[in-house]
Amino acid sequence: MMKLKKTKKWTLYVLVFLLIISVASCFGVKSQIKQHTGENTELVDSSLFNPAASPIAITNVSVLSSDCTKMLDSLTVLIKDEKIIQVAKEVSIPNEYIIVDATGQYLIPGLVDTHAHLHRSKNDLLLYLANGVTHIANNSSESDNLLLTWREEAEKGALSPKIYIAAGGMSSKKGVIQKIKTLFGDSRKYNTSAQARRAVKKFKSQGYDAIKSYNPNREVYIALTNEAKKQNIPVIGHLPTDVSLEDLYSSGQSQLAHVEEIIKATIREFGGMWSDNSEEYLTFLKDNADQIAVKLKKNKIVVSSTLWIIESIPKQNFEIDNFLKTIKLEYQNPGQIEGSKLAKGWLPGNNSYENMDIKNSPEQIKDHKLFWKTYVEAIHIMTKALVKQGVTITAGTDSNTPGVVAGFSLHDELESLSKSGLTEDQVLYAATVAPSDWMHSNAGKIEIGRRADLVLLNKNPLGDIKNTRAINAVITKGKYLDRMTLDKILESIKLANNDSRKINIDKFIK
């Protein structure tokens, strides 16, 4: 009897010990998630910034035409109650209006990033605005619906870009690791048609704007696109690895999240691309790119660009130290830069794109560089075909992935689009009109009745797309943020990041 009591006693001790370990592990994992999603970073108090919200008259300004092809000189734009109420040469300005003399300046619609990733720090919302990005399409969602709350706050007047939110991304994956992830909120894996259909209905009822396809199996992909049609909610995102381009054309998917998705699909069709058959692959792509673009156009599939991130990957592979000096690293959330025990960050030795395995093999380095050179060239070939065939391209960055700083990266993307063969007016259209039309937003053009999301520039972007960086002021939902306020926002974010930093990054800052 004594032996039995002792056994029960020790069993209880073991169970208590295991319970303590489990609880500690749970808190440890959640702490690491907070770290790499930026939640531990000090928050900037947006109430410190007081944008003018009274009726505003912008006078003597050159205004971008609705088709983005020309500047209309010496106009006055009246803004009241969050909307544009007048655009004309001769305007009678009521006494209550704040007058902004914009002589020698250029007014364009607010910029849109159609492939953004918000994590768990509101500082990013301010970072977008400081760079003239007044609307973002977030290509993933937190399982606790945090972003839906942020979207609601933005609509009620919080200082924020307008937020379009895709639920997901939806994938198919089984196994013990996935079950563990599910315990910590990653419940976005669907392995049957029934699960996919239930998820689409749930996300629709919760108020999401779209469903993101990440990498579901073919059965699940067909089910989710089919159910999304029934529920009248768009599907955006990736082309899964076992779904063909022909499947895509007939799926009803609204948007591809990257030009890269087409490249990956053609590489599969080609039978795989390596360094020793790269020229053959490029020939194959050139022979097929126009036909692919025609079918995308016919099926009204929009393509988000994300060119710059692909161009940056070879640099992050082999020149990470030099690469980090070329971006605005000081404004990026330090939690994401530093990563955690669960996720890599951006810094040397811990960067997702840095290729540590081959650095001591000159032959492998040579082959790898040739692969990426070919891959980047393929992206440009496909982009040119999309433009040639009139496919709707929207500017997107994949912000907050390694190297892609929120807000700043959209200007990098616009330059990449320009280098890929788009004219300045086509680039501006891809960053304003096209995404606003695709997301059914009442912005994107400087017209009466449109939402007052605007950017005032010191230089003409039709002369050089780099001039989108020359921001004098940003108007978001009728609120006027002048250059002094924008600088104050940026400085506040930089200070908050410095106060929250665990790893010194001075050697990467110019």
Q: What is the pLDDT of residues 416-426, one digit of tens each?
A: 999 999 999 99
**25, part of any domain:** no
So what's the pLDDT on residue 143? 61
DSSP letter assigned to residue 462: T
- Residue (of 162, 185, 151, 139) closest to 26 by Cα position: 185
The answer, yes or no, to whether residue 40 has pLDDT greater than 90, is no
Q: What CATH number should be reported for the domain holding residue 170?
A: 3.20.20.140
The answer, yes or no, to whether residue 359 has pLDDT greater than 80, is no
pLDDT band at 342 (very low <50, low <70, confident <90, very high): confident
- Provide the 10 A C-beta neighbour count for residue 15: 10
Indicate the average pLDDT of the chain: 90
pLDDT tens for 80-105 read: 999 999 999 999 999 999 999 999 99
Residue 492 main-chain phi, psi, to 5 deg? -65, -40
Residue 164 bridge partners (DSSP) = 137
Please state the pTM of the whole predicted model: 0.91
Higher pLDDT pick, 437 / 354: 437
**Contact assessment for residue 259 and residue 413, using Cβ atoms and an 8 Å cutoff:** no
The answer, yes or no, to whether residue 15 has pLDDT greater than 70, is no
**471, part of any domain:** no
Calpha distance 19→202 (Å, rounded): 33
pLDDT tens for 313-328 read: 999 998 999 999 999 9
CA distances from 174 to 140, 171, 189 (A): 20, 10, 8
Q: What residues make up the domain containing 409?
A: 111-444
- Provide the 10 A C-beta neighbour count for residue 185: 12
So what's the pLDDT on residue 361? 80
Q: How far is CA 406 from the centre of its chain?
A: 8
- Residue (of 261, 212, 214) closest to 233 by Cα position: 212
Which residues does 495 contact at the CB level (< 8 Å), separation at least 6? Answer: none
**343, part of any domain:** yes
Calpha distance 500→36 (Å, rounded): 12
**474, part of any domain:** no
The answer, yes or no, to whether residue 140 has pLDDT greater than 90, is no
Q: What mean pLDDT is predicted for residues 480-498? A: 97
**116, part of any domain:** yes
Higher pLDDT pick, 11 / 474: 474
So what's the pLDDT on residue 260? 97
Q: What mean pLDDT is predicted for residues 190-214? A: 94
pLDDT tens for 206-260 read: 999 999 999 999 999 999 999 999 999 999 999 999 999 999 999 999 999 999 9
Calpha distance 111→343 (Å, rounded): 31
Q: Percent of the chain beyond pLDDT 90?
A: 78
Q: For the chain, how are helix, strand and coil distributed in percent, rounded to 5?
A: 45, 20, 35
Say if residue 104 is preceded by a cis peptide, omega within 30 of 0. Answer: no
Which residues does 71 contact at the CB level (< 8 Å), separation at least 6? Answer: 62, 63, 64, 65, 106, 460, 462
Which residues does 486 contact at the CB level (< 8 Å), separation at least 6? Answer: 129, 130, 471, 473, 474
Ranking 21-25, 31-35, 200-204, 434-438 by mean pLDDT, the lowest is 21-25
Which residues does 429 contact at the CB level (< 8 Å), separation at least 6? Answer: 67, 68
pLDDT band at 8 (very low <50, low <70, confident <90, very high): low
Ranking 89-93, 114-118, 188-192, 329-333 by mean pLDDT, the lowest is 188-192
**202, part of any domain:** yes
So what's the pLDDT on residue 222? 96
422-442 as b/e, with b when 16 or more CB fall inside 10 Å?
bebbbbbbbbbbbbbebbebe
pLDDT band at 185 (very low <50, low <70, confident <90, very high): very low
100 in helix, strand or coil? strand
**384, part of any domain:** yes
The answer, yes or no, to whether residue 343 has pLDDT greater than 70, is yes
Calpha distance 11→271 (Å, rounded): 57
The answer, yes or no, to whether residue 6 has pLDDT greater than 50, is yes
Ranking 17-21, 116-120, 200-204 by mean pLDDT, the lowest is 17-21
The answer, yes or no, to whether residue 65 has pLDDT greater than 60, is yes
What count of residues does the chain have? Answer: 510
Classify the C-alpha dihedral 236-237-243-244 as positive or negative. Answer: positive
- Residue (of 323, 325, 304, 328) closest to 312 by Cα position: 323
Calpha distance 303→306 (Å, rounded): 9
**283, part of any domain:** yes
> How many domains, in total, are found in the chain?
1
Calpha distance 322→313 (Å, rounded): 13
94 in helix, strand or coil? coil
Higher pLDDT pick, 344 / 341: 344
pLDDT tens for 449-485 read: 999 999 999 999 999 999 999 999 999 999 999 999 9
DSSP strand pairing (56-64 vs 71-80): antiparallel
